[in-house]
Amino acid sequence: MSTCNHGNTAPDHILNALHESQAGPQRHKCTECAFQQGRALGETQAILPGGNAVCEHVQRRAPQELVDALPESQAGPGRHKCAVCAFHEGFTYGKAIGNRE
């Protein structure tokens, strides 16, 4: 489990599987924080929110204001990885957890 400087965590295997991303609004954004934002929404919402922050690699979307509010980080396994995709993976993880409870 990876822990960022901001106190959030994300599974290493999920961060390691993310593609690299140096483009767009998610450049240098903390993937652990993005994962936890997605997880929190996944635990409480049925539908993944869209948005204007776009992953240029796989065209996933996230709310721009959420991505803009993420702190910067260039540490750990999330370094140079896609924060939008980390958000999506967190949402999927959160939905799975929410469905078990």
Q: What percentage of the chain exceeds 90 in pLDDT?
A: 70
Report CA dihedral (51, 27, 85, 68) to the nearest 10 degrees: -40
The reported pLDDT for the residue numbered 73 is: 86
What confidence category does residue 98 fall into, taking pLDDT thresholds of 50, 70 and 90?
Answer: confident
Q: Residue 20 pLDDT more than 90? A: no
Question: Domain coordinates of the chain in residue numbers?
Answer: 2-100
Which of 82, 36, 43, 84 lies closest to 63, judged by CA?
A: 84
- pLDDT on residue 25: 65
Report DSSP state, residue 34.
H
Residue 94 has pLDDT above 80, yes or no: yes
